[in-house]
Amino acid sequence: MEDIEHIPKELQLIDKKGIRLDGRRFNELRPIKIEAGVLKKADGSAYLEWGNNKVLAAVYGPREAHPRHLQDPAKALVQCRYNMAPFSVTERKRPGPDRRSVEISKVISEAFASVVFVEQFPRTSVDIYIEVLQADAGTRCAGLTAASVALADAGIPMRDLVSSCASGKIGGVVALDLNKDEDNFGEADCPMAIVPRTGEIVLLQMDGHLTAHEFDQAMELSINAAKQIYELQRDALRRRYAAVAEAAEQEALREPPPQEAPRETPPDMPEDLPPEVDDL
């Protein structure tokens, strides 16, 4: 933290005590909140808040891949759409895919294709939808983290959850999990995603410049953070399936709903199986 003097005073991203603009230290994450199973119509879903990022992820599948010519007779496709809402940033974003979101969709789908057991579901596709509702830097990591929980919630067989975090360089210091100001005025940002159980890296990008030494520092920060995030993801999934158990219990223990006077039931109902076959 000795080489921060060259930064103008009004743009001191990290001060002499090592405190950042939002009060964090170089190795601290923003607060993260994850909830699994928030959407009823999707096979799996998750909502995530990561600092000022708000992300919704939904997973459908495995389902028939369309268009047909995309189907792979040997394995499932993992398709991802990362999309930012027009209101997710300060200046209204033109809706629809752009170069940036197409790239992010591609790297995220490739990250997941390496953990999902795609060979179990030939000719199908697993579709992941990531909607960024509010963006404050690090949305691809946030989206990937949420999508990972949504995939598990959808019951898709996979080797492990994927956890993701970014590190960068601000005011000459390597720091974890940059926010919007740090991303805009800092020197580098390096998002990555790992399979925590094995330590495999499934996504790695960099914007800006880091020396080899700084890169190693950044990776170490990110990997440690990703392991913390992994625990939050697992916790969200456990909560979801414990909550399901509780809700069902209350539902069943509730008094039966009021009924009109019971109608006469025929004294002997016919044998219920086999069901009637309409002979033609």
Partner 1 sequence: MDGSAPDRREVVIPGDLLNGHGLKPGSGTFNEGGRIYAARIGTVAERDGFVDVIPLSGRYIPRSRDVIIGKITDLGPSHWLVDINSPYPAPLNAKETPWMVEFGDTDRYLHVGDVVIGEIVSVDEAMRVQLSIADRQFGRLTGGQILDISPAKVPRLIGRNGNMVALIREFTNVRMFVGQNGRIWIDGDAEGVYHAAHVIKVIDDSGPAPGLTDQVRAYLEAAYGRRATTPAERDDDGRH
- Choose the stretch contacting partner 1; rule: CB under 8 A; options: 4-12, 27-35, 167-175, 259-267: 259-267
Based on the shown chain and the rule CB under 8 A, indicate whether residue 269 belongs to the binding site for partner 1: yes
Contacting residue, 44, 51, 138, 171, with partner 1 by CB under 8 A = 44
Q: Name which of 50 and 230 has its Cβ closer to partner 1.
A: 230
Contacting residue, 8, 10, 99, 245, with partner 1 by CB under 8 A = 245
- Contact between 229 and 32 under an 8 Å Cβ cutoff? The reply is yes
Based on the shown chain and the rule CB under 8 A, indicate whether residue 212 belongs to the binding site for partner 1: no
Q: Where are the beta strands (DSSP E) in the chain?
A: 32-36, 44-50, 53-64, 77-84, 124-134, 163-170, 173-176, 188-195, 200-204, 207-208
Q: Name which of 109 and 217 has its Cβ closer to partner 1.
A: 109
Distance CA 175, CA 138 (A): 13
Contacts of 59 (CB under 8 A, 6+ apart): 42, 43, 44, 45, 126, 127, 128, 129, 147, 150, 151, 153, 154, 156
Q: How many residues bind partner 1 (CB under 8 A)?
A: 59
CB of 173 to partner 1, least distance (A): 33
Based on the shown chain and the rule CB under 8 A, indicate whether residue 137 belongs to the binding site for partner 1: no
Based on the shown chain and the rule CB under 8 A, indicate whether residue 123 belongs to the binding site for partner 1: yes
- Contact between 18 and 1 under an 8 Å Cβ cutoff? The reply is yes
Residues 151-210 close enough to bind partner 1 by CB under 8 A? 152-161, 195-197
- The Cβ of residue 127 has, within 10 Å, a number of other Cβ atoms equal to 22
- Choose the stretch contacting partner 1; rule: CB under 8 A; options: 135-143, 178-186, 208-216, 234-242: 234-242
CB of 26 to partner 1, least distance (A): 29
